[in-house]
Structure 1
Amino acid sequence: MRWPPWASESQAREQRDERNQKDWSQSLNAIDWAAFTEPRTLIPTLILTTGIVGALQIHRRYLRRFPDAVSISPTYFRKRTILGQVTSVGDGDGFRLYHTPGGRLAGWGWLPWKRVPTAKKDLKDKTISVRLAGVDAPELAHFGRPEQPYAREAHEWLTSYVLNRRVRVLVHRQDQYQRVVASAYVWRLFDFPIPFRRRDVSYEMLTRGLATVYEAKAGSEFGGPELEQKYREAESIAKRKGTGLWKGYRRNRKEWESPREYKTRMGLEEQSQGKGS
């Protein structure tokens, strides 16, 4: 029925269309707040939110990659380990580690975008400098200082033992050279006499007479008193047998020089030369 009665048919149709359009716009703009509390909406939202938050926490805790020693959070110190691949060995008691969080389970080594770089330019500023805890290896020649006996043997052994291998390190602290002092562990499947066992790299060096127990007055780190005792016992056995660098110790104890004594002597000589000049 037209309203008002005297209105034409076209005017009445326009009025109806205008009312319908207005009602449709109002229904679109109205917010049905009750729908947000319905189980069909609430449950999927909670699942999605929980999943996102959980994924972020997992990534932050287990899958975040540390490009260098400085970026490692102090919350890791003495509590959590870091898994990576050794990319270079600088001396007898230190190496560089490319952090691969999650290991093979996270795709490292088999996913195309998760491969450890091999070129030096690609590794620059992307590796962690690791100083082995509890040991001191003979010094290689550097900065004008002569090479110590057994320095090359220690470096070659460490290179063959860890280079390009997956190594897990327990970080104890950072030092003043932007390195981490850490205990390093590597799985050696075919080692004699006990295969399929995790090896403590520092301990293995001591048993072979390729390093001494770290004896600096400040900055020594072993990873706990039990490990320190274990290291000292291994050193004592190697010394008694005359293994590795201890051969010289048995031949001439007066002239034999530990890595710590060598560094102290070199420092004093350089200091006196500086004063003399």
Structure 2
Amino acid sequence: MRWPPWASDSQAQQQTAKDSSEHDERQAAAKSTTASKKKDWESSVTAIDWAAFTEARTIIPTLILTSGFLGAFYIHRRYLRRFPDAVSITPSYFRRRSLLGQVTSVGDGDNFRIYHTPGGRLAGWGWLPWKKIPTSKKELRDKTVHIRLAGIDAPELAHFGRPEQPFAREAHQWLTSYLLGHRVRAYIHRPDQYQRAVASVYVRRLLDFPPFRRRDVSYEMLKRGLATVYEAKMGAEFGGEAMERKYKKAEWWAKLRVLGCGKTIAAIRQTGRVPESTRRVWDWRRLRSPGLKLRNEARPGI
């Protein structure tokens, strides 16, 4: 229908074309505006605001997170790292640091194996489900540290075709009853040629008096006459000269308690031998000069 009614057909067509053109222009402008806004939004999203990286709200959380990660790594590496065997112990531990572990087996009178438990109970060992200490030989295989007691030498059991040395069974039985299943702290001195860690070992026991007093295992064996002071010219480890004097004094007192009575000395003078009832581990090393030499020995460390 023409509008106004008196308009001609050509005028109506021109008006329609004009309206259509204006409509197309408005649509094109709207599309252009939408595309421009979309482009601006995408560019704003992908653009990197370098100034934001220098703001305090970005720097402070980043430093806290990084420091926390590095600190956790350092603590785990230094204090919570578990060594599966003596070969794995790093040189930074020698004569500086100690290992805490539970004794899982006793091989001889002067060596045993521990399962390293870094951090002890505070780190969850023994009560957290994923930090249980294995008990079977299969589970413990290649997972224990072989420890050699420093400063002493105990008689050996039969090994590799060699016969059992005198008093070896007594020394082994005592050490087993004293340490097996207990937690010990081993101060590492050095490794030896048998892939063991030579260490001064301390234990706390409920049944001792006073209870839970820290005991030096090497010293306790010397006091009881179950071991002798290590006398090798090279490779001897005591943890210092003071400990060496202490060990020699303990050995001297042990000899004095066993061989110091008059009846024993009289028996030695008559027979030239130490009576079987009073012999101890040092006698099998000094059978050529038994007992009588004790009276002429100077009292060590006094």
Taking a change above 3 Å as real, the CA distance of residues 70 and 132 of structure 1, as seen in their structure-2 partners, is: same
Between stretches 15-24 and 205-214, larger displacement belongs to 15-24
Q: Give the AA of the match of 1:224.
A: G
Unaligned runs of 5+ in 2: 1-20, 289-302
Secondary structure of the residue aligned to 2:129 is coil
More relative contact order, 1 or 2 (CA 8 Å, 6+ apart): 1
Partner in structure 2 of residue 29 of structure 1: 46
- Structure 2: distance between partners of 1:26 and 1:196: 71
- Structure 1: distance between partners of 2:132 and 2:180: 16
- 2:58 aligned residue (41, 52, 62): 41
- Structure 2: distance between partners of 1:184 and 1:172: 11
Partner in structure 2 of residue 229 of structure 1: 245
Q: How many residues align?
A: 252
- Structure 1: distance between partners of 2:211 and 2:99: 23
- 2:121 aligned residue (93, 101, 104): 104
- 1:122 aligned residue (139, 144, 154): 139
Partner in structure 1 of residue 7 of structure 2: none
Secondary structure of the residue aligned to 2:121 is helix
Q: 2:236 aligned with 1:220, yes or no?
A: yes
Percent identity over paired residues = 66
Deviation at 1:72, TM superposition (A): 0.5
Q: Give the AA of the match of 1:206.
A: L
Q: Give the AA of the match of 1:251.
A: P
- Structure 2: distance between partners of 1:168 and 1:139: 24
Deviation at 1:158, TM superposition (A): 0.4
- Structure 2: distance between partners of 1:162 and 1:100: 16
Secondary structure of the residue aligned to 1:26 is helix
Partner in structure 2 of residue 206 of structure 1: 222
The 5 Å alignment of 1:38-77 reads 38-77=55-94
- The answer (yes or no) to whether the contact 1:138–1:258 under 8 Å persists in 2 is no
Deviation at 1:218, TM superposition (A): 2.1
Q: 2:164 aligned with 1:140, yes or no?
A: no
Partner in structure 2 of residue 15 of structure 1: 32
Deviation at 1:201, TM superposition (A): 0.2
- Structure 2: distance between partners of 1:224 and 1:88: 28
Q: What TM-score do the two structures reach when normalised by structure 2?
A: 0.79
- Structure 2: distance between partners of 1:106 and 1:256: 46
RMSD: 2.3
- Structure 2: distance between partners of 1:207 and 1:61: 36
Q: Give the AA of the match of 2:59.
A: L
- Structure 1: distance between partners of 2:159 and 2:46: 76
- Structure 2: distance between partners of 1:204 and 1:256: 18
Q: What TM-score do the two structures reach when normalised by structure 1?
A: 0.85
Secondary structure of the residue aligned to 1:126 is coil
- Structure 2: distance between partners of 1:29 and 1:185: 63
- Structure 1: distance between partners of 2:135 and 2:207: 26
Partner in structure 2 of residue 251 of structure 1: 275
- The answer (yes or no) to whether the contact 2:166–2:284 under 8 Å persists in 1 is no
- Structure 2: distance between partners of 1:216 and 1:233: 18
- Structure 1: distance between partners of 2:158 and 2:82: 33
Larger Rg, first or second structure (1 or 2): 2
Q: Which runs of 4+ in 1 moved over 4 A?
A: 4-7
CA deviation vs aligned residue, 1:149-193 (integer Å, no higher than 9, x gap): 21111001100111111000000000011000000000123313x
- Structure 2: distance between partners of 1:256 and 1:102: 42
Partner in structure 1 of residue 4 of structure 2: none
Secondary structure of the residue aligned to 1:55 is helix
Partner in structure 2 of residue 159 of structure 1: 176
